[in-house]
A and B are shown apart, each in its own frame.
Chain A
């Protein structure tokens, strides 16, 4: 039985219950009991409209309880430090159809209400085997914990509700475009002078029958003309999302029941895209690298010679000439390195399987965002891939079929380029030479093999499966009298 706590009462019988500074009976935790999950969602929907969950997101847990009578209810247990916050939670819980208790450990009593401004206390503590024994003015019930519910997973499972007004106002948007549409949309936005950033997202294949991951373009649009609304929302393959939190966005035309901005787990660094039409949300653990549209549109390369640099009048022009690479008529011998562009790296991966052990041991590889530079020693096999280079000096490479002009010695060349010691210089047809630190080169055999997972197998099962199956022999038996008695050809 519960009894009201009186003003200036100093002793309470309920274990874990004490009086706070205002004289209100308060335990270390609060427990909100809801009859079902949707009531819990309603509680969060109302509560997050007024207050964020920042302070106590890590201090709460949701448990599915089973009463002694077999009924299931949902409990939200939160660590509390002041009765002011408990008051607001109790008010919202009552609105959502829940009961509020306070306590800690096994015994919980009803939180204060208008009938008992200082709360309630037990008149007698009874022995119980239940995990939580809840005492209310209208009932006493024992509960066992059936399982714990992950709150973020619960929020992710909530389907956004249809709301035609959602997303009609101007503002920033995320646009998710299927792979085939990404390039076209990129050029369309660039032509329309819309400032945006774009990145590539990847998800695992949809089924075991697929080999390739699902790739989509993700556009970040701070703003765009309203005339594009119809195009974006009616084109199949484009999905427009309204950012509702730094790490969450809901599809246009839908509204999530919870104020996601109030929940810390939806504040990045990843992004959760909530889809409409009952589809599962798309999760990005980490936001992809986003580049501006200007950097990704097709570039026009100036064909002619660049204009000569201006020389200050009155000063003598220095007698220095740039280094050039001229085609050589000599046969390209001593090819000992290859530059493999990023587009050819998938092919390189396949060709690596064909290399002999000697080549794998002696070749060295440096990998950069511009491609891979592969060096082989004299007499070993070179891959039929990439642009070939020959060594002028141990650390100086020139494209095969070209020679340097003027014909200075490699040492002079290296000193002119002025690179630090322990660097490998790669001269190119166009542009400045590339310099790679020698330390970036690693043996090919140590660079290529990725870790392989393994799992134990039951040898007996494998042997059974591996055994050949016997042949199938048709054995004829007498079908008996009236063999077609079950066969009735139905009429039209």
Chain B
């Protein structure tokens, strides 16, 4: 094996096992050390030849991707992760690391901002999906991205309290619970609200929106989210501009509920306000069709 490639393969393998496999199969997601644009691109160049060190895990991940894809289209096989998918995965890792409470330090408080800037640069270099299969493959990989959550634990005892973000509380603080009157409160924090006070919250939401825009089906599937609010992008409009794309989009929206429909209406109205006639017509036609089909099926 080429000596220069060995570290890249190891980092890619680490990224696959610690980030992608939990994203597809569930469980603990442990982001790896921030990668940045250069390293992410170099790892992505190995996409065609990548094989995970745990072949069984890779097989289960492929099955999970196919399982996601088959909920939308009758496919029997999915292509492996492309270079763009690898860069998107690296960007997602860096995005999660940017809200790591242990990232900033006293001497380097601006690390989250620097990491988000690097993440924006990386996202700007990722091409949008070039056809329906690529969009479906990307969605099958990242469909559960917005299901990532962090468990924050608050421990109270008779003389004080302590907060733990995404890590288990110290055993020392849990000792003698009856005597010290220890109370543990767990809070589930969604991906949209991960930044703690003092972190660049708006910047984080901008980068998350840019990340979602690169997977238009995932963007549509999570349109009911609160932050960042759903907006029509060139990728999502390009998707619903074709008949098969509209069909896929309708399937992915499925039972998104009233919140999602309201978000789609708001986003379409934004296009109208900005006098973007053609995008507005594409989005409006899509919503009209969706309403007509909903009335037929109800």
Contact = CB atoms under 8 A, between A and B. Distances in A.
Interface string B76-92: 10000000000000000
A484 B149 contact: no
Interface string B127-170: 00000110000000000100111110000000000000111000
Contact of A479 (B27, B28, B100, B144): B100
Nearest to A473: B28
Interface string A200-242: 0000000111110000000000000000000000000000000
A471 B244 CA distance: 31
B240 interface: no
B102 A487 contact: no
Contact of B26 (A210, A465, A471): A471
B64 interface: yes
A477 interface: yes
A486 B167 contact: no
A475 B30 contact: yes
- Chain B's interface size range is 35 or more
A472 B27 contact: yes
Contacts of A475: 28-30, 166-167
Contacts of A465: 63, 67
B166 A486 contact: no
A489 B118 CA distance: 6
B34 interface: yes
Interface stretch (B35-43, B49-57, B198-206): B35-43
A490 interface: yes
Given A486-B36, A487-B118, A472 B149 contact: yes
Interface stretch (B109-117, B218-226, B260-268): B109-117
A94 B218 CA distance: 63
A476 interface: yes
A478 interface: yes
Contacts of B276: none
B34 A486 contact: yes
A469 B25 contact: yes
A432 interface: no
A471 B34 contact: no
A469 B23 CA distance: 10
Contacts of B36: 484, 486-489
Interface in A457-492: 464-465, 469-480, 483-484, 486-490
Nearest to B104: A483
Interface of B: 22-23, 25-31, 33-39, 63-64, 67, 73-76, 94, 96-97, 100-103, 111, 114-115, 117-118, 121, 132-133, 144, 147-151, 165-167, 194, 244, 247-248
